Chains A and B, each alone.
Chain A
Amino acid sequence: MSKSLNLFGGTALGTIAVLTMAVNFADRNIAGFPDNPAVMTAIAPPVLSGGLVGAANASTGAGEGTFGLGRPALPEEIAAWDVDVSPDGTGLPVGSGSVEDGEMVFSENCAVCHGEFAEGVGNWPELAGGDGTLANDDPVKTVGSYWPYLSTAWDYIHRSMPYGSAQTLSDDDVYAIVAYILYSNFLVEDDFVLSNENFLEVEMPNANGFIVDDRAESEYPMWRTEPCMENCKDSVEITMRASVLNVTPEDEAAETAEEVIEAAAVASETEAEPEVAAAVAEAEPAADAVDPALVAAGEKVFGKCKACHQVGDGAKNRVGPILNGIVGADIASVDGFKYSKTLEGMDGAWTADSLAAFLEDPRGFAKGTKMSFAGLKSAEDIAAVTAYLASFE
């Protein structure tokens, strides 16, 4: 045991090796690409001289003198977890997806945050556009304008999207979504089909836009100097103040206290309100004339909610609560679901009006709600989805 530890060397040696590595990066940049030293086109792993890996290489084998802890990983286990995809296509499963299919899958699973055209909603990332903006004051970094490798998009969508329902997409759906994102960036035509076979043929516009960290060359020599201690400047003027922008959060302790006091006052003033709300809730289902067309339209709108909510037979709480019988139910009353404090603290029921207000602007209606949904812009969509939800008891 101590043998293998000794062979790998101590920390003091390690620090030297890391510094050497940084210098080697710079050397490689300059020597390898004299015409265009700033741009590296290939993946260049660090070239190392000696250091820890040298010591490890010299070892007769790192498997020696082990502790005998852990157990061999089974092939099925490795297959389940080792799903990363590399720029050379390593890890890509067999499959394909078209732009056309991608548009639908994207609309259902991604558009809630990323917009129907991958343009981004609110503060959520935009995935398309930004071509030629990287040198601007405000660069727009999207899959099209910035991402150097297509494998990154496939890997990330497959592993971590949709947000809140990761790892629920089929491989073909992932191909389709990636194809649609390429299309949204005008990088492929509308009849394009992406597959594991043509994956590496797609050219990413910013593939050559990256250099390996060059601080050791471009910065450190300038800033490893004896610093000035006296008469370092002739004059000093304030050129900018944070108070001008005024974007710093206020003292939350004081603010929260004020909010609590205000909320308490409001609550005592309007104690009658829950009854009013309940009365409205009762009145709602009485308007029994269900419009099948509206319910059908609502089912379509509900596609935007499906990533997080289930409704109907066998529905379960997922990222969001089960929505059976939600219209008319008390706010935050679904068993076994952990609501935000805000919703939990709200009195009243989900009436057509309160649902509409919530769906139009979730965080405006319930500041702090965990529902990460930008909101439905159209009143028709809201009416439709409400009718659809009301059709489930």
Chain B
Amino acid sequence: MSDMLKPSRRAFLRGSAAAAAGLTAAGAARANEPDPLITEVQDWAMSFGDGVDATPYGLPIQYESDVVRRNVEWLTADTTSSINFTPIHALDGTITPQGCAFERHHSGAIELRKEDYRLMINGLVDTPLVFTYADLERFPRENHVYFCECAANTGMEWAGAQLNGAQFTHGMIHNMEYTGVSLRTLLGEAGLKAAGDLSDKWVYVEGADASSNGRSIPMDKALDDVLVAFKANGEALRKEHGYPVRLVVPGWEGNLWVKWIRRIEVTANAVESREETSKYTDTLEDGTSRKWTWVMDAKSVVTSPSPQSPITHGAGPLVITGLAWSGHGAITRVDVSKDGGKTWETARLAKPGEKMALTRFYLDTEWNGEDMLLQSRAMDETGYVQPTKAQLREVRGENSIYHNNCIQTWHVKPNGEAENVEVS
């Protein structure tokens, strides 16, 4: 109940505006009255908190109850074939907790016990095989951190600034440390001699849920870095992330990361399933559509300040932060602009960029309390520079839906509020 007493975002913004107006000078304000939080003995300093075992598996403290996945109801007909969004505006670092990592289901999140789990490898293999979950645990394991981005992330922004929050514009992404077996190992176990020349072969992967979500992946990728994963961030995959086993396809669009994976078939051609023809194809201005657009190009976004994470402290020291990533490899540099792209300064990467994983950037700066048009621009190890929306539209038009990796602009106002805008 106590979280119901939390101020609404509106009230919060009103408060922050007042604070911004009152605090014109930078630097520490002098206290006129002693702070009762210091001078008076507080309850928590006198009595007990919860004992161990109060929560055998812990959830975030009640004061963080607004840091949750959110859905945009009008996007889809039904929540069982739908998507929600990671609250990236409220997170820091790079690892996304599973409990607030975006979900995308095509037939709802199913409950499949490890004991009932089977993985079949068939098609052009020497011996079609069936693995149990226990079998998978006996293969050599790998650990890797990768981002998973839905191809439709930022897809609602093609025609203009639409959703007012980094969670909604860029929240179809998460970044986890996966534990699993390399697909290369499993294919090797079934044997690929029967496939002959592998250079033109594919694997078709499908899930156990009613949607099956079948996708075709070229053999080269399948033998490269694809993982058959059963743990994320150290623990079992959550139901909504494909428990007990999902596919991890580093740097490539999220739809290929088949959850509840039940079958891997080596084929001579792409199956051209529903998810790789009618969906996840990108229509260009002339009506022609690109297919097999698997790689997620370099992209970044300022997560704070942003519409859901306004500046509440007035002028003075300000941390501008955000995320950058590239399906082509590591992020090497992120630039930030406060004036809508006229001038740029290079941000500090929290750690050197890692391949196909989120990179956190910071610009530790001084805010003068004036309007800002905040942008970030990522560069990856191939030298690719994140394009503007205008550049993307010039090549693709406005109907691509997927793969919108444009530079995002937030208009930060003198009262600290921010809005999703488009600039010339």
Q: Which A residues form the contact surface with B (CB < 8 A)?
A: 1, 4-5, 8-9, 11, 14-15, 17-19, 21-22, 25, 38-39, 43, 45-48, 51-54, 56-57, 61-67, 69-73, 77-78, 81-82, 84-88, 113, 122-124, 134-135, 137, 139, 141, 143, 146-149, 151-152, 155-156, 159-160, 163-164, 166-167, 209-215, 218-220, 222-225, 227-233, 235-243, 245, 247-254, 257, 260-261, 370, 372
Contacts and interface: CB of A to CB of B under 8 A. Distances in A.
A9 B225 CA distance: 10
Interface string B40-77: 00000000000000000000000001101011111011
A138 to B, nearest CB: 8
A222 B385 CA distance: 9
B122 interface: yes
A215 B272 contact: no
Given A124-B77, A149-B272, A229-B343, A57 B188 contact: no
Contacts of B4: 257, 260-261
Contacts of A1: 140
A257 B6 contact: yes
Nearest to B213: A160
Nearest to A11: B225
Contact of B269 (A45, A51, A54, A237): A45
B200 A152 contact: no
B258 to A, nearest CB: 13
Given A166-B210, A223-B384, 17 more contacts: A5-B188, A52-B220, A53-B201, A66-B189, A70-B130, A72-B128, A84-B214, A124-B77, A149-B277, A164-B80, A224-B383, A232-B342, A236-B339, A241-B161, A242-B164, A245-B161, A372-B80
A39 B341 CA distance: 36
B149 interface: no
Contacts of A39: 288
Interface string B254-294: 00000000110101011111100110010101111111111
Interface in B162-215: 162-165, 168, 184-185, 187-193, 197-202, 204, 206, 210-212, 214
Given A241-B161, A249-B73, A252-B70, A47 B199 contact: yes
Contact of B72 (A15, A229, A249): A249
A299 to B, nearest CB: 26
A152 B140 CA distance: 36
B240 interface: no
A65 B131 CA distance: 18
B365 interface: no
B210 to A, nearest CB: 4
Contacts, number: 367
| Interface size, B (range) | 35 or more
A41 B262 CA distance: 31
Interface stretch (B28-36, B316-324, B414-422): B414-422
10 contacts: A52-B220, A57-B199, A82-B265, A88-B269, A152-B273, A167-B210, A227-B379, A236-B340, A242-B307, A248-B165
Contact of B277 (A18, A113, A148): A148
B97 to A, nearest CB: 18
Contacts of A137: 398-399
Interface string B106-141: 110000000000001111001111111001001110
Nearest to A141: B278
A243 B290 contact: no
A280 B236 CA distance: 50
B204 A69 contact: no
A45 B218 contact: yes
B154 to A, nearest CB: 13
A247 B291 contact: no
**Sorted from nearest, which 6 A-B pairs have the closest CB atoms?**
A63-B191, A14-B224, A254-B8, A135-B287, A134-B287, A123-B77
B270 A45 contact: yes
B223 A53 contact: yes
Contacts of B291: 210-213
B385 A70 contact: no
Given A11-B224, A66-B188, A134-B287, A253 B3 contact: yes
A229 B334 CA distance: 12
B377 interface: yes
Contact of B421 (A77, A223, A240, A261): A240
Given A62-B193, A211-B289, A15 B421 contact: no
A263 to B, nearest CB: 12
B221 interface: yes
B14 interface: no
Contacts of A222: 391
B235 interface: no
Contacts of A149: 272, 277
B120 A163 contact: no
Given A57-B198, A223-B387, A52 B223 contact: yes
B297 interface: yes
Contact of A134 (B190, B270, B289): B289
Nearest to B194: A63
B92 interface: no
Contacts of A164: 80, 210
Contacts of B135: 69-70
A242 B159 CA distance: 11
